[in-house]
Amino acid sequence: MTLSQLLILWLVTSVSFFIISKLPTGVDIDSFGKAVISAAVFGILNALSRPLVKTLDLPSDELAIVLFAIIFNAIIFGLAAFLVPGFRLRWGIGSALLGSIALTIVNHLIHKLLLQSVVLNF
């Protein structure tokens, strides 16, 4: 991944964080600046945890993989909220689960829009 792709991914995730803070998910982010920091922390935690996830013996069932990914992302989401002042989960693990699902959906939609407008070429 090039530096420009990484920066665009960070911006998209930042916008996604800010959008989900406006949805009724129990996720509170004070400002877009806090969303940018939250996206960076979330990305770093995700990158640091990848080697751990790869060493785990995951089941081959697709549903189990999806459920594991949702729970894992909720944990990373909660850690990011714990580490970033101004990023709160109103309902604890429930907000982390809703937020991580919403983040996945919003990120996917934004990527689709960007790909259709030929801004990104991933």
Tell me the C-alpha distance between 43 and 41, whole Å.
Answer: 5
What is the pLDDT, as a whole number, of residue 51? 77
Dihedral of CA atoms 65, 71, 74, 76 in degrees, nearest 10, equals -70
What is the pLDDT, as a whole number, of residue 56? 66
In a domain, 122, yes or no: no
Report yes or no: 103 and 17 within 8 Å, Cβ to Cβ: yes
Q: Give pTM, 2 decimals.
A: 0.85
Return the structure tokens found at 54.
């790869």
pLDDT under 70: residue ranges of the chain: 53-54, 56-60, 117-122
- The boundaries of the domain holding residue 30 are 3-116
What is the pLDDT, as a whole number, of residue 74? 93
In a domain, 57, yes or no: yes
In a domain, 55, yes or no: yes
Name 28's bridge partners.
88
What is the pLDDT, as a whole number, of residue 53? 67
In a domain, 85, yes or no: yes
The domain total for the chain is 1
Report yes or no: 30 and 88 within 8 Å, Cβ to Cβ: no
What is the pLDDT, as a whole number, of residue 5? 85
In a domain, 95, yes or no: yes
